[in-house]
Chains A and B, each alone.
Chain A
Amino acid sequence: MAKAPKTTSKAKATVGGKSTATATKKNIRRVQGRPPKNIVPDYPDTNTMLDLYEQMLLIRRFEEKAGQLYGMGVIGGFCHLYIGQEAIVVGMQSVSKEGDSVITSYRDHGHMLACGMTADGVMAELTGRRDGYSRGKGGSMHMFSCEKNFFGGHGIVAAQVPIGLGLAFSHQYRNTGGVSLTYFGDGAINQGQVYESFNMAALWKLPVVFIIENNQYGMGTSVSRAAAGRDLADRGKAYGIPGMQVDGMNVLAVREAGAEAMAYCRDGKGPFILEMQTYRYRGHSMSDPAKYRTREEVDAMRKQRDPIDALREILINDGVENDKIKSLDTKVKAIVSKASYFALESPEPDEAELWTDVILEGGVS
């Protein structure tokens, strides 16, 4: 076990015997909108935190396994791992409601697991097998689940942003009370269609939370080399969209910001932007030259800012027994191990599958 990490959300004991990270408010900077309120951080109970921990760990272990299988040649094509960014989707989804829609880019494995899609189905899609979510026809970047309201998995940088807007339009049109959680990266933020979406979202007060996962690099180009202006959370300013910069390595800060953003949308006030400051430990995809940043930078982030280590520390300080945490580690390993066997044993799609799902029957005849 690594020594206690130095995180910006350093654990400490507080009144009432409850432990808490240093006020998560410090990890949220409001860019515009109302001034910060003095809320006591709404700490979830221990069971909820254990659940957050388990989910983040599941994504971490799943991605490590995917990386291994890629190395073995079992997973092909592009494979973008989410390691390091787990707190974002786990924190956001933990405060979403049933019926909310989720859409993201190609770095999507974590989002699917956080939406409740099975590790078996996701891994089998990565290996291109018939039991995968897209029956082997989508792969890492293109997976969907109507049942879980997960709308992909999109391979074109920023294309999911207007689509997420359309999901919000549908929520408003059908008056479902739902919110569209539209995730994209710092690389997508410079695409024109993002601003087309900001404009229409604000114009029509659509219930969409734009979640910018700023992992500091769009492929190998750092944000400072790609994006003018200081903060990505500011990018909605011209449209009157409130933005918040959040410590995306702190799942509790993410939760709190997410809850506020979603409440804002559900109140009919329109879109909200969350810039999650995060970091991916692995390369952009599996074939990453690793020349654009130093090993020291990556190591420092892993050691000092890791979201899973930080939550584990909070749990231990909260009095959760080590055995309990270890049992979660064991449980998660078993899920991932089973998924990996499942994904290797599932057969390739039937050759007839080549010709199916191109067009739906049922038109006027």
Chain B
Amino acid sequence: MSVTITMPALSPTMTEGKLAKWFVKVGDDVRSGDVIAEIETDKAMMEVEALDDGKITALEVDEGEDKIAVGSTIAVLDTGEEVVSTPDDDQKSVSETPNPTPQPSAPASKPAETFVSSSYSGALSPLSVREALRDAMAEEMRRDESVFLMGEEVGEYQGAYKVSQGLLDEFGARRVVDTPITEMGFAGLGVGAAFGELRPIIEFMTFNFAMQAIDQIINSAAKTLYMSGGQMGCPIVFRGPNGAAARVAAQHSQCFASWYAHCPGLKVVAPWSAADAKGLLKAAIRDPNPVIFLENEVLYGQSFDVPDDDDWLVPIGKANIVREGTDVTITAFSIMVGKALEAAEVLAAKGISAEVIDLRSLRPLDIDTILASVKKTNRFISCEEGFPFAGIGAELSAQVSEKAFDWLDAPPLRVAGADVPMPYAANLEALALPQVDTIVQAALEVTYQKERG
């Protein structure tokens, strides 16, 4: 009987990978448990073992081949067992991965797109968000000796999501500091180091874990400048993935944007494109204030055009109109920008022209850009992954109502995550997260092409 061996998933968000090495060739006899191949992604590496005894009859991909989709056949094994079942079963493939992860709806790697501000006219190169963040840190560490990176697995492991890949080699353990699992401790340490004339970048493996440290972020980092009558600033960046990944459930899937944006004394940034990720992170590192830098795990592997420029900076506090339109203003940040743009495409086909604003920065908020857009379109929708109650959308709706009430032709609408802890089941998770169609439906409502839901 032939069984197929398929490309396994190494993480909840992995959709494709590279076959780094074959340890077998066609005709080899293997035993269950033998390592037959090594596969890698941009963040992890794994050996593939045979789950049956038998003879390799085909290798479907070449060594070194990249972008192999999870679940596709990489090899065929003849187990030598006689087929005693119905002919139908012959066709049935047996996956070597017992638990292939369902595919996220959007591909992890999109073709490079240009979302660089029009003021830049230099050369561009495609770069993943992950690489853009790494380059931003490396460039700033080269520029300023007082900048250091600290967090769990940032050094020898090369970053839990490989964002800090290569930094330990270049800067050494003095400046790329692996910590114990001790969020409150190293967040507080970072605050003290910032008071002590250094410029720490504190990486949280995810912002879910930063809740262990939120006292240090709010009470110590954000408030000391004020409490010291302006004497003691805290130049520090707290960064890491925020929001939902895929299938990691309630304790690992939450957007904290509104939590931090609520607090004076912080700047809060949530980029979408790689160019913004790089330019904003460099700006955050140079900023004299504590900056919360919210990344997104699903975006790490996505590529965008990024300026070939070591001084590429994006100022904090400026939104970016990523698609111009006339009928409805849609704001979004982080991963929701991509969904908003997809929704705008769908809406265009229905004759509705949506203007999409990437907020980029949540505090300070570029309310002027939003208001100018609303005064043009007369309709407003905010998008976020986080909970609706007291969320970013609640704040934006309030400000738009207060400051552009007379221009509105419809009530502002919030597209947000469901008001429940994130469920694990794939179908429920999809229901809990705002999707492209959720945004489309909201746009139809504010343009009165659909009854309010």
Contact = CB atoms under 8 A, between A and B. Distances in A.
Q: How large is the interface on B (under 10, 10 to 19, 20 to 34, 35 or more residues)?
A: 35 or more
A156 B215 contact: yes
Interface string B180-203: 101011111111111111101000
A237 to B, nearest CB: 18
B184 A146 contact: no
A363 interface: yes
B122 interface: no
Contacts, number: 168
Contact of A166 (B179, B182, B188, B283): B188
Contact of A360 (B192, B215, B288): B288
Contacts of A361: 288
A363 B315 contact: yes
A174 B216 CA distance: 23
B196 A161 contact: no
B264 interface: yes
B184 A363 contact: no
A356 B230 contact: yes
A169 B193 contact: yes
A360 B174 CA distance: 28
Interface residues of A, number: 52
Interface stretch (B220-228, B248-256, B296-304, B351-359): B220-228
Interface stretch (A130-138, A241-249, A300-308): A130-138
Interface in A173-217: 173-174, 180, 192-193, 196-197, 199-200, 203
Given A144-B228, A357-B226, A357-B229, A163 B220 contact: yes
Interface string A143-180: 11110000111111001011111111111011000001
Contact of B228 (A142, A166, A167): A142
Max chain A C-beta neighbours (<10 A), residue from B174, B182, B288, B314: B182
Contacts of A162: 184-189, 191-192, 216
Given A151-B232, A358-B226, 5 more contacts: A145-B231, A166-B190, A169-B189, A357-B228, A365-B315
B227 A192 contact: no
Contacts of B191: 162-163, 166
A244 B174 CA distance: 30
7 contacts: A133-B229, A144-B228, A151-B232, A153-B227, A163-B188, A166-B189, A357-B228
A1 interface: no
A40 interface: no
A181 to B, nearest CB: 12
A132 B231 CA distance: 12
Max chain A C-beta neighbours (<10 A), residue from B196, B216, B315: B196
B334 interface: no
A153 B228 CA distance: 9
Nearest to B282: A364
B195 A166 contact: yes
Nearest 6 CB-CB pairs, A to B?
Answer: A166-B192, A162-B188, A196-B185, A170-B196, A135-B229, A163-B192
Contacts of B231: 133-134, 144-146
Nearest to A173: B198
Given A159-B219, A364-B287, A165 B229 contact: no
Contact of A159 (B200, B215, B313): B215
A299 to B, nearest CB: 37
B265 A358 contact: yes
Contacts of B228: 133-134, 138, 142-144, 152, 357
A359 interface: yes
B292 to A, nearest CB: 13
B323 interface: no
A101 interface: yes
Max chain A C-beta neighbours (<10 A), residue from B189, B230, B265: B189
A362 interface: yes
Contact of B192 (A135, A169, A196, A357): A169
Contacts of B230: 135, 356-357
B196 A360 contact: no
Contacts of A151: 192, 195-196, 232
A165 B185 contact: yes
A193 B283 CA distance: 30
A170 B192 CA distance: 8
B193 A166 contact: yes
B229 A138 contact: yes
A230 B17 CA distance: 56
Contact of B315 (A165, A170, A364): A364
Contact of B182 (A174, A196, A357, A359): A196
Nearest to A144: B228
Contacts of B267: 359, 363
B148 interface: yes
Given A162-B189, A165-B188, A359 B225 contact: yes
